[in-house]
Structure 1
Amino acid sequence: MPDGKPIYVLNGPNLNLLGSREPHIYGSATLADIEAAVTKRAGELGHTVVFRQSNIEGELVDWLQEARDKAAAVVLNAAAYTHTSVALHDAIKAIAIPVIETHLSNPAAREDFRHVSLVGKAAKGVIAGFGATSYLLAIEAAAALAKEGQNA
């Protein structure tokens, strides 16, 4: 495992309702289903995962700051905070590890207010629109970026 640090997977508001909340948009996988798939794939790539969800913006900021020293990379689905949170944007800018913004749906194909991502302006990259597979693609990217960081 590169330097022994986990990949943090942080989830924002209402993602605890996955599987029952608007499955026509977000799919039928629960957050527990996604956590199991992410943990498995990360393990295959030589990483452990710290997987968390909060409806509280400040808690997500605290976890990003914690990840600064404890994580190899971060996968962040900030959910609705993606479009509104200067605090998350600033927290991402304050840490040197890669952050991958991730979404189940494609925000660019949805309501106009979802077209601006404050998180994406600070993140290394964005993966969106592939349902639960978005998380697996983001884990792949996070592991690759963490490996690059070790070889730099």
Structure 2
Amino acid sequence: MTSILILNGPNLNLLGTRQPEVYGTTTLLDIEHRCKAIAIELGVAMSFQQDNSEGALVDHIHAARGTHDGIILNAGAYTHTSVALMDAISSVELPVIELHLSNIHAREEFRHKSFIAPVALGVICGFGAAGYGHALRAMTEHLRAAA
């Protein structure tokens, strides 16, 4: 069965209470439950992880090789700073979709630069919590087309 890792970075554990005007009021647990339902609908296995540590995120990406067929990554602020995440993605040779709740291109200038996008299959941003479902469907379609 196709397996997809959904990996969430720093501060996403605070969804629902952190800057709801930017990120909405949906919690990460709510998003995980929605993703599980969508994964069942699509007939794929899904693992959902969150960590605030850059090194732990790198470890999750490394561990995905041989375990998962693709990664959906909401790296949060590390998107704009982490060469380590970019290198980890390049090293595992798995398709990755970069995901953001907000439209990073409509926000502060420093958020316009992504170290993830150059090594990602694609980027989904600005759709709030619904972006996770869009990413799951897009990754599933990509993996099935590549099989």
Q: Same fold (TM over 0.5)?
A: yes
Q: Does 1:86 align with 2:83?
A: yes
CA shift, 1:53, in A, is: 0.2
Deviation of the 1:149 alpha carbon: 2.5
Distance 1:91 1:43 in 2: 28
Asked if residue 48 in structure 1 is aligned to residue 45 in structure 2, the reply is yes
1:102 maps to what in 2? Answer: 99
Note the C-alpha offset of 1:88: 0.4
Post-superposition, which runs of at least 4 consecutive aligned residues in structure 1 deviate over 6 A? none
Following the alignment from structure 2 to structure 1, what is the Cα–Cα distance between the partners of residues 104 and 58? 22
- Separation in structure 1 between the aligned mates of residue 83 and residue 145 of structure 2, nearest angstrom: 28
Does 1:10 pair with 2:7?
yes
Equivalent of 2:26, from 29, 34, 38?
29
If the length of structure 1 is used for normalisation, what is the TM-score? 0.94
Look up the match of 2:139.
142
Over the matched positions of the two proteins, sequence identity in percent amounts to 51
Q: Spell out, residue by residue over 1:48-101, the C-alpha distance to the aligned partner (whole angstroms, 9 max, x if none).
A: 211000000011111111111110111000000000000000111112221000
Structure 2 CA distance for aligned equivalents of residues 147 and 91 of structure 1: 24
The structure 1 residue matched to 2:56, chosen from 54, 59, 81, is: 59
User: How many residues are paired up?
Assistant: 147
Give the counterpart letter for 1:48 in structure 2.
A
How far did residue 5 of structure 1 move?
A: 3.8
Q: Shift of residue 43 of structure 1?
A: 1.2
